[in-house]
């Protein structure tokens, strides 16, 4: 009877590991902060930029809507915990327009992060997660300094698969005068695993400057073991439990 119970425990642990790997994503709130370039738990990075060159992520009264994002490749499985972008230029009026502004961070899964056609276009992808956040009432950032990074942190991480192609997009929910973030980008397609994408209507997307531009961004998160590794770890725990129970039973008999 004890052997059967132990086997059942082993199967339960292995099953839980498999179920946990395939668990659906939950939604999370976005916490917005500013600071220096992130250096810990970096999973994907394109931190270079051209000085003085920027693209406006905006929902401005004069210039209208423009969502900005980037396709990228998850070379290994990880739980996405934060996205950071670099601000190249900011005016005082822009900071005021960002205060209390509601933004959305959307993650798409696409067929190929390096495709400039339909396979890489977010419009043809699948939404993995859509999460919102609000800029603080006293939010301010100065462009092109060591502390010009804006970080969007998720309360609940988003699991990204090894070898998966994705696109992150930033958008504003409401329009206001001077509501724009002057995001840095880099010409020359230095980041080989993706491109910068823009949208002026929130539903159709095009490449920024063709295939020759990338946003300046950093993705942070925690590496996730491969399914086989997770299963082996669970099996090791279960085996240890079996040995412990057998030793305990042997002592009782003795």
Q: Which of 21-25, 114-118, 162-166 has the lowest mean pLDDT?
A: 21-25
For residue 249, the model assigns a pLDDT of 54
Cβ–Cβ < 8 Å for 101, 135: yes
Q: Which residue has the higher pLDDT, 209 or 170?
A: 170
Averaged pLDDT for residues 5-18: 41
Q: Which residue has the higher pLDDT, 228 or 37?
A: 37
For residue 225, the model assigns a pLDDT of 86
Nearest-angstrom CA–CA distance, 162 and 26: 19
For residue 248, the model assigns a pLDDT of 56
Q: Is the pLDDT of residue 237 over 90?
A: no
Nearest-angstrom CA–CA distance, 123 and 206: 10
Confidence of residue 232 (pLDDT cuts 50, 70, 90): very low
3-class state of residue 238 by DSSP: helix
For residue 29, the model assigns a pLDDT of 78
For residue 24, the model assigns a pLDDT of 43
Nearest-angstrom CA–CA distance, 165 and 122: 11
Structure tokens at 176: 């206001």
Nearest-angstrom CA–CA distance, 111 and 125: 7
pLDDT digits (tens, 9 = 90+) for 187-213: 988 899 999 999 999 999 999 988 899
pLDDT digits (tens, 9 = 90+) for 29-51: 799 999 999 999 999 999 999 98
Neighbours of 41 (CB within 10 A): 15
Nearest-angstrom CA–CA distance, 41 and 53: 28
Confidence of residue 182 (pLDDT cuts 50, 70, 90): very high
Cβ–Cβ < 8 Å for 122, 108: yes
Structure tokens at 82: 């934060």
In degrees and rounded to multiples of 5, residue 227 shows phi and psi of -55, -40
Q: Is the pLDDT of residue 253 over 90?
A: no
């Amino acid at each position: 009877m004890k052997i059967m119970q132990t086997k059942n425990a082993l199967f339960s642990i292995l099953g839980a590991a498999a179920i946990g790997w395939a668990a659906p994503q939950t939604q999370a709130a976005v916490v917005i902060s500013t600071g220096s370039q992130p250096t810990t738990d970096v999973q994907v990075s394109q931190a270079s930029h051209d000085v003085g060159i920027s693209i406006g992520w905006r929902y401005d009264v004069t210039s209208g809507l423009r969502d900005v994002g980037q396709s990228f490749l998850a070379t290994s499985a990880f739980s996405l915990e934060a996205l950071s972008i670099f601000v190249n230029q900011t005016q005082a009026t822009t900071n005021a327009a960002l205060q209390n502004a509601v933004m959305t961070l959307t993650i798409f899964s696409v067929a190929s992060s390096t495709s400039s056609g339909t396979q890489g276009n977010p419009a043809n992808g699948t939404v993995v997660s859509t999460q919102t956040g609000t800029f603080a009432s006293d939010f301010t950032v100065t462009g092109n300094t060591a502390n010009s990074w804006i970080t969007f942190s998720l309360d609940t991480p988003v699991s990204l698969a090894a070898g998966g192609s994705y696109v992150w997009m930033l958008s504003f929910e409401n329009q206001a005068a001077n509501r724009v973030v002057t995001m840095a980008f880099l010409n020359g397609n230095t980041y080989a695993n993706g491109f910068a994408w823009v949208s002026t209507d929130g539903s159709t997307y095009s490449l920024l400057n063709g295939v020759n531009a990338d946003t300046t961004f950093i993705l942070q998160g925690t590496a996730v073991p491969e399914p086989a590794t997770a299963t082996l770890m669970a099996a090791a725990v279960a085996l240890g439990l079996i040995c412990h129970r057998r030793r305990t039973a042997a002592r009782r008999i003795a």
